[in-house]
């Protein structure tokens, strides 16, 4: 009943870190920088989508406070 020892399965984090349990400092800094850049790019895409949406809408005349149009 003595079964041979099998290596344990890697956790998701270990798989993503190339088998290491923890990120080293350089990898951590690189990961943070990538996340920051992704955030900036996502905001840029949202702004471009909004600009395209705004440019495809027909322009309306601005209403003055007294109900007259400009």
Q: What 8-state DSSP symbol labels residue 21?
A: S
The length of the chain is: 70
Task: Kindly report the pTM of this predicted structure.
Answer: 0.49
- Three-point CA angle 23, 29, 34, nearest 5°: 105
**pLDDT tens over the chain, length 70 residues:** 566 677 778 788 878 877 666 667 887 888 899 999 999 999 999 999 999 998 887 766 666 667 665 5
Q: Tokens 């895409």 identify what position?
A: 45
Helix (DSSP H) and strand (DSSP E) numbers for the chain:
2, 0
């Amino acid at each position: 009943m003595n079964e041979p020892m099998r290596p344990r399965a890697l956790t998701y984090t270990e798989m993503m870190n190339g088998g290491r349990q923890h990120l080293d400092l350089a990898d951590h800094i690189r990961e943070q920088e990538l996340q920051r850049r992704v955030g900036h790019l996502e905001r840029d895409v949202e702004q471009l989508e909004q600009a395209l949406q705004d440019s495809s809408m027909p322009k309306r005349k601005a209403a003055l406070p007294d109900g007259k149009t400009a």
